Copies of this chain bind each other. A is one copy, B any other.
Amino acid sequence: MLGAIEAGGTKFVCAVGDEKGHIVDRIQIPTTVPAETMPKVVEFFNQYPIKAIGVGSFGPIDVNPESAAYGHITSTPKPGWRDYPFVQSLKDAFSVPIGFNTDVNAAALGEVTFGAAKGLDSCLYITVGTGIGAGAIVQGKLLQGLSHPEMGHILVRRHPNDEFRGKCPYHHDCLEGLAAGPAIEERWGAKGDQLVDRMEVWDLEGYYIAQALMQYVLILSPKKIILGGGVMKQKQVFISVYKYLKEFINEYVSLPDLTEYIVGPGLGDNAGITGSLMLAHQAFQEENQR
């Protein structure tokens, strides 16, 4: 039996299941401070004979196995979690292999294994919600270099009619600053689900997301693009994304039919937790190959 944690900034989803993605039991725990949240995590997993745990975590995190800070959440502003040794605290409690990656990389892994990108060796998973983040599978492996990607903060061109300053504390009007949920709410004065009929809201949203996709396509050339997260539940955004991406690319690269190339998550809201199960499976296999 494998354990999985989808560690979000608002809640932790913990689950137990198997390497085929079947989930046997799951709970949600509010993300408060580690001293409160983590004992509940431990209590949950203590009920089961787990042989590995996979964690898809909010970030930024240190995923470099050669780094002294490997397995830590690093510079998050979230009280109590800055420099938190996530992997070590789980190892202390369970003495099993721990897989550790970003929440969005976990979701990409879930989608490439069982979801919308099943059977491919390459995909990009983007979440558009409270923040914007993306994970990628490149040639069958989770994308990693110096660190994990931070694709939500790329620079975009401001729409000529958009005077909203942007909400990113680092870059003001980067992609996340202009297009994540809080930016939509502040720009239009209401939450997304109260703006469903305002076409201009979703047209602008698609304009920014399509710019990001143009950059991702030209740099990574993913075989499938999956758009998830709360904002993407407004399905009208996809229409705008297709329209603007076609305009921006202007036939410079040839892409599959956009409605098949850029899709919602095949696993729905389970992409992250399923991918975290896969991280557990990978960690178990790596440990046993040694």
Q: This chain: how many copies in the complex?
A: 2
Known: A138-B138, A139-B141, A248-B155. A147 touches B253 (CB 8 A): yes
Contacts of A214 in B (CB 8 A): 154-155
Cα distance, A250 to B170, chains bound together (Å): 6
A268 to chain B, nearest CB (A): 25
In the complex formed, the residue of B with least CB distance to A170 is B252
Interface 9-mer from A20-28, A194-202, A218-226: A218-226
Known: A122-B146, A138-B138. A252 touches B219 (CB 8 A): no
Total interface residues on A, CB under 8 Å, equals 41
Cα distance, A222 to B148, chains bound together (Å): 10
Answer yes or no: A211 CB below 8 A from chain B CBs. Answer: yes
Answer yes or no: A251 CB below 8 A from chain B CBs. Answer: yes
Answer yes or no: A157 CB below 8 A from chain B CBs. Answer: yes
Answer yes or no: A215 CB below 8 A from chain B CBs. Answer: yes
Whether A221 lies near B148 (C-beta < 8 A) is yes
A128 to chain B, nearest CB (A): 16
Cα distance, A150 to B214, chains bound together (Å): 10
B138, B148, B154, B254: the one within 8 Å of A139 (CB): B138
Cα distance, A148 to B253, chains bound together (Å): 10
Mostly, the A contact residues are loop
Known: A154-B218, A215-B154, A220-B220. A248 touches B171 (CB 8 A): yes
Whether B155 lies near A157 (C-beta < 8 A) is yes
Whether A223 lies near B155 (C-beta < 8 A) is no
Answer yes or no: A263 CB below 8 A from chain B CBs. Answer: no
Contacts of A156 in B (CB 8 A): 155
Whether A219 lies near B220 (C-beta < 8 A) is yes
Answer yes or no: A96 CB below 8 A from chain B CBs. Answer: no
Contacts of A153 in B (CB 8 A): 218, 252
Answer yes or no: A60 CB below 8 A from chain B CBs. Answer: yes
Known: A150-B253, A171-B250. A220 touches B155 (CB 8 A): no
